[in-house]
Structure 1
């Protein structure tokens, strides 16, 4: 397989040099991934684009992060990237889950004023699974705005409880309650990958992104799903800067996916799901 132009990375965040201070739980994950130096290294917007060019990534879906203690990457910080390079960065908003009314208003602002194309909430940061009542007003607003809800599934690489990342029953219940809501579960779902694949087959509105895992380590059942009945359901993601864009794409090439499947995985599915 030869990589085609137009790769879209469905999950990334800025490298602003503040991760160790503001997200201390991720330090071990970065160290195990060989990216510990990026915890304290700030990459400029221009340098980030250079890394994308080197890897062949057309668009990086850049996510804001908020946790109970405060903002890590604000929606306005993400907007600085999308304004500087509107053809290269796509904003993914987040909100303060603990303030329901303000969260709904912030989501609407992020989409209508800042141009964000999705909402992402990382459940382990809040210790609340996605079927918790605090999420539900946001799901209604996502449907109204016509944007996907993105979340993390599977165990947590950071040393935090993993229960919130179980696809069944939590994400299953959300999809049943909101069949109109487009959902993208990031990080594959390991060790519940079969559950995640089952949900993506069961629910037309559920998709999977492969962020936080090098392609060499994609589970066999996920690769089978991608190659067959799930070819419209799986999106490429890196979790940049945890994983190198260039290394991820080199390893995708080594998977030798059929060209039509690779095109859907690397960009086609993301364009459709996020309306790019």
Structure 2
């Protein structure tokens, strides 16, 4: 069984009210059942990870969280979990930066996260100056930043998540370790071209069943992008079982599959070799 790091896992969907658009995403995009918005117990999550070779998972949380399920899981099993933290109010930048500093001081954080379509009514693409304090702070902390790219599933503005916006971000912040998340559909070619151009840019295949990944991305992974693409499920949106079974079935050399499933994330988020 190949080992993997799941770079984006949700454990608190059922613990907090979900916006109406999540129901639409569940039903219209993923045809999901009740497990789509569930919250696992720690033993249940560990059991599922062990059964499918997931050695470590990055659990999503919010910078304002003080006692959520993600924090409790990380405290209980720091050997198996780290945190991805979002929920920043970038219109109040100094407060947001103080929150991020305090959060990283207290918890094992693998990356910060922001979805340009999901806040501020989708008015702020990544080139907007409202993001610049966060970019600078992540550089200062040497903390990776993950940003949603591609047309979002919910009925929200899509333009802020066009990967071409990251061209200027990568140019102005070459020290920023930046990853696109949730793929880049329908702009895969743009995302690939940017990864060829910028050493500091990566892509995460979260929320994409591997059998639906486009051939142009798989070709990039086999050739010039062996170290650029990282695996994630967006659990429970997609299960460990399904994603890893489909990953095993893809036409990829073993060393490329190993890098995608484990090695690239281990290097980018955890400083491994």
Give the TM-score, by structure 1 length: 0.90
| Residue 85 (structure 2) aligned to one of 84, 93, 102 | 93
Alignment of 1:73-152 (within 5 A): 74=65, 76-77=67-68, 78-94=70-86, 95-126=88-119, 127=122, 128-152=124-148
Secondary structure, counterpart of 2:117 in structure 1: helix
Aligned residue number for residue 257 of structure 2: 262
Q: Give the deviation of 1:205 after TM superposition.
A: 0.4
Q: Is the 8 A contact 1:29 1:158 kept in 2?
A: yes
Cα-to-partner distance string for 1:53-84 (whole Å, 9 max, x where unaligned): 22221111112247xxxx7xx36523222111
Separation (CA, whole Å) in 1 of partners of 2:198 and 2:150: 18
Aligned residue number for residue 22 of structure 1: 18
Per the alignment, do residues 45 and 99 of structure 1 end up closer, same or farther by CA in structure 2, a change over 3 Å counting? farther
Per the alignment, do residues 161 and 36 of structure 1 end up closer, same or farther by CA in structure 2, a change over 3 Å counting? farther
Q: Is the 8 A contact 2:11 2:38 kept in 1?
A: no
Per the alignment, do residues 153 and 30 of structure 1 end up closer, same or farther by CA in structure 2, a change over 3 Å counting? same
Q: Give the deviation of 1:40 after TM superposition.
A: 5.0
Secondary structure, counterpart of 2:109 in structure 1: coil
Alignment of 1:175-254 (within 5 A): 175-254=170-249
Cα-to-partner distance string for 1:106-154 (whole Å, 9 max, x where unaligned): 1111212112121001111111222222211111111111110101100
Per the alignment, do residues 33 and 65 of structure 1 end up closer, same or farther by CA in structure 2, a change over 3 Å counting? farther
- The alignment status of 1:58 with 2:55, answered yes or no, reads yes
Aligned residue number for residue 156 of structure 1: 152
Q: Give the deviation of 1:248 after TM superposition.
A: 0.1
Q: Displaced runs of 4+ in structure 1, greater than 4 A?
A: none
Separation (CA, whole Å) in 2 of partners of 1:34 and 1:57: 25
Point out where structure 2 has 5 or more consecutive residues left out of the alignment.
none
Q: Which stretch has the larger CA shift, 237-246 or 25-34?
A: 25-34
Secondary structure, counterpart of 2:7 in structure 1: strand
Separation (CA, whole Å) in 2 of partners of 1:263 and 1:135: 34
Secondary structure, counterpart of 2:179 in structure 1: strand
Q: Is the 8 A contact 1:25 1:160 kept in 2?
A: no
Q: Is the 8 A contact 1:17 1:42 kept in 2?
A: yes
Q: Which stretch has the larger CA shift, 42-51 or 243-252?
A: 42-51
Aligned residue number for residue 163 of structure 2: 167
Secondary structure, counterpart of 2:51 in structure 1: helix
Give the TM-score, by structure 2 length: 0.91
Q: Is the 8 A contact 1:16 1:43 kept in 2?
A: no
The CA RMSD over aligned residues, in Å, is 1.7
